[in-house]
A and B are shown apart, each in its own frame.
Chain A
């Protein structure tokens, strides 16, 4: 499968010269299978450019939403396939205890936040609630599991053949595990990440920023390295950059974390446009 990052920023779109290199668009990742089938992970603002780059006659798209915080949803109304007649769009995402996924999505896709309501979209739309049994989409086998982040939030593990990708853009595994001092099976997200070829994971803060934001649902870069090492992943990508971090801040943070943790796995900070070939 081929993985492309279309939005790497967390919390708020952050355009501007000081963030141009790592990118200012919020969470959106494209996964293309060996048979050409397309998955889209989250619908942050990065999804608009992705929509424009897809062939107009694409028959089906599956959008997998980790949760419905605005930075993972804001681009949805601007995703061209949703406004294209004849395209099958499947959206997978978490319901809450009392509201269906449809009702929760409609809170954003309706006035006054958005001029068009869900039922007026031209595509052929189907909604699916997660977590559920293993999802099969073409050759993809997908597991969704609830993880530690405020409001119902899932992470995804996507497997095609021997290749595996785990996507957890908003995740605070340190919160429920006392900094990973508990057995692995008590660490949020461990089951999804275990042995993955590529882990795309929240790394929003420095250690001192995290200390001021415990319980907000995000991770410090050092914690993300600890988590990825614990899970035995092969490659780690730091994702969901904080809006206050410029490209220069991120360069510096990344260099410091490499020095502090000396990771045994391949680590890189997510940059808009990055691609990964997993096989």
Chain B
């Protein structure tokens, strides 16, 4: 692709200004962007990781359920929103680069643009004990 779609460009622009952690993926689940607040929770910087396929980001943060059982990518709210094309929410645990175990709540929704173009999905998340 020579260039990202405008809805995705604007979503990144908005995310880059928000104090809410945000993840943006394309229709194949490739991670296109996560913002500064997400970097703080995940323990990785976007400039270091760059874009990542779902097989990579789905495991790099070591997602697991509340009982510590690893979650496969298709159980992640963002991937579920992508596949069902419906908003999804859920709570998972992750372990970022800093090795801290965090419980995070996630709300994910499909990104559907002009002319019904399916462009990917966006996840907003926050630490469960935080608010």
Contacts and interface: CB of A to CB of B under 8 A. Distances in A.
B115 A185 contact: no
Interface residues of A, number: 27
B30 to A, nearest CB: 13
A146 B3 contact: no
A95 B115 contact: yes
Contacts of B113: 146
Given A94-B114, A95-B115, A185 B1 contact: yes
Interface stretch (A114-122, A171-179, A205-213): A171-179
B2 interface: yes
A146 B116 CA distance: 13
A246 interface: no
Contacts of A131: 114-115
Contacts of A145: 3, 6
Contact of B3 (A97, A132, A191): A191
Contacts of B2: 185, 190-191, 194
A152 interface: yes
B16 interface: yes
B7 interface: yes
Contact of B10 (A94, A176, A191): A176
A31 to B, nearest CB: 22
A155 to B, nearest CB: 10
A131 B10 CA distance: 17
A176 B6 contact: yes
